[in-house]
Structure 1
């Protein structure tokens, strides 16, 4: 394609395409899926513990017995039986919901897209934790939202930082529409919002006229049998809740949901129909059968045990192998550990050396909208076996040692960029 024809194509694109950016995680998949590479990058559930043979029989029976329904078009809101079951699942987190207010989506990523679509005009502000989920940042950027980060610590989102961020944005004359938060076992930070902060955060947003977008895919995957009370449980009018079966059952079925105030529900259904007509009926019926037929809560406990063991393995390996000055979070659930390297490191610049050394991670700057995160990385412990986790951390430590040698030898004149924008301190993730 010539330069002129390329320019002509670029001129045809909608302005919002300038906000689209490739996912740092997706870009790693082709490398991370090589068998010789230990991937601590992707947050893939460990599906081996699922009753796969029995599920195969269920899938065949579903087609044989109810194929005329399962393979047909369906409702843009999702099938009623699954919405009723979703309400039962959410009740574990203290949520009292009606199926009419649930909208089934093609994964919670679609729920993020629909919610952003119906609320955000270009230039409007979404507040998001620092760091924040890369998929959410990509969605917000594609709708030309302006993301303003709010600091976290080991207790999650800091209410005082939220108040300060709201005041600063309002002083600049911009309009804040949403606060996006992952309160439980945060992706990527691994921290959980303290119970006493939750009503405070909700009240701050109510007072400021800001909707709360509560994204909770990991809420049932705590390692201490504790289920945290959802923000939505105490604020039905100002919290939009996003859930997913991708982490507690199977991501390949792509079934998530939105629980929204009744007035918002209708707009979400219309947006869902415009995007997909309806979420796949077969996938919904498979999950509905699973919830009816299997002891799904025991399956979640099996996941919890598996992930807790792998979390322990990763933390022990980090303790043994990381250089002085490195810090990391200590998650009590979920999939991720957030690592901060000493001053001078740039984890994005270090990634090619890591891939050469057959280890993959996600650089921290992928989780910020403002260029921070240069010293951070996200490590995932959910998918690799404990043995692979230990080997992965060992390879990672070799890469970090090699980078340290370069910095000691060349200092500021290193042939690879180091440093970059200063990242938050360990006090604010």
Structure 2
């Protein structure tokens, strides 16, 4: 990266808060004491110990009835999305998703030649009445809708939190239309106040395939995620996952298991919440201080991202290069949309950036946006 450049682009966890020296000793001990297991092939579904511990993590997220037999450990939740598309979709089938949504999911679904169709969202997530209308319209066209992919907690990139009163209605609408809900929840534990909304899966074990990950709450480099699969679909999903990766990495699973067993992972989540809350507040304060008239932004209650909206007609993509020249980088909104064409949105990430650097980044970005707005008038 260019020296002196402030990156507000990457959605990275703040790993400096982890006990790295102790983790190094733990990793060494695993090799010394369990090396023949750690470095060998493992079971395709993942270790029973970690699957059981994952059920405890999901209990903290609000899912109290998870069975380790229905958990499949994957190479991050990205792999879990891939397997879901592979198992449940044929070319031309429709996957509904929020607009905007996670760029990695868009890329995954594109690889399977599915028809991704956006559903309308507002600052509180999916609008149930408009979801129902969208499904009816697509079915009237003869479309086969297989999945609704949603990030209900602190959507990447918008930071939106699906309103609690909408959650069951969204699942009910999909159930009536025979659409499986694919709930991706990597940020669920990272609500700043620790008061967590109930996952869609909590009351709907047969209608929701739930994806989780240690990438945001522990270490993304380990590439350990999971799928909690409805019991009647587990075997199909597991076999497809095993065909892709053979087995999740045994050493990484043992390290995650030891972390969950021997470390205060709940306390680490509390630390993350405090760090990210402080950084989000710093970013919002800088936006309040420096942004020109005509720019608005989200005010997330958790997660990693703030979503900016520029006046209609301004394309954020060309502004990326101007931002880099000014010493700051962001992600243009078009990357997160299933539709083609320019976007007047952009994403700023605060999770890995100290408060004073966030302020400097926004200070550098503001004149770029002000010039674009002035030129557009």
> Secondary structure in 1 aligned to 2:188?
coil
* Alignment partners' CA distance in 2, 1:157 and 1:62: 44
Q: Are the aligned partners of 1:113 and 1:139 in contact in 2 as well (CA < 8 Å)?
A: yes
* Alignment partners' CA distance in 2, 1:90 and 1:183: 15
Structure 1 gaps of 5+ residues are 1-32, 409-429
Alignment of 1:273 onto 2:242: yes
Deviation (angstroms), 1:35: 3.8
* Alignment partners' CA distance in 1, 2:12 and 2:158: 16
Q: Find 2:14's aligned residue among 41, 46, 50.
A: 46
Alignment of 1:140 onto 2:125: no
Deviation (angstroms), 1:371: 2.0
Pairing of 1:320-399 with structure 2 (within 5 A): 320-371=289-340, 374-399=343-368
Deviation (angstroms), 1:110: 0.4
Structure 2 length-normalised TM: 0.98
- Structure 1 residue aligned with 2:189: 220
* Alignment partners' CA distance in 2, 1:205 and 1:148: 15
Pairing of 1:152-301 with structure 2 (within 5 A): 152-301=121-270
- Deviations along 1:195-234, whole A, 9 cap, x unmatched? 1111100100000100000000000000011111111111
* Alignment partners' CA distance in 1, 2:39 and 2:61: 33
Deviation (angstroms), 1:288: 0.2
Alignment of 1:100 onto 2:81: no
* Alignment partners' CA distance in 2, 1:404 and 1:230: 40
- Deviations along 1:341-389, whole A, 9 cap, x unmatched? 1123110121111112221111111111112561000110101111110
Q: Are the aligned partners of 1:94 and 1:230 in contact in 2 as well (CA < 8 Å)?
A: yes
- Structure 2 residue aligned with 1:27: none
Alignment of 1:61 onto 2:61: no
Displacement over 6 Å in runs of 4+:
none
* Alignment partners' CA distance in 2, 1:318 and 1:261: 43
Q: 1:359 to 1:342 in 2, by over 3 A?
A: same
User: Aligned residue pairs: how many?
Assistant: 376
Q: Find 1:78's aligned residue among 29, 41, 46.
A: 46
- Deviations along 1:22-77, whole A, 9 cap, x unmatched? xxxxxxxxxxx444211111100000000000000000000000011011000110
Query: Based on CA coordinates, which of the two structures has the bigger radius of gyration?
Result: 1
- Structure 2 residue aligned with 1:421: none
Which piece of structure 1 moves more, 249-258 or 315-324?
315-324
Structure 1 length-normalised TM: 0.86
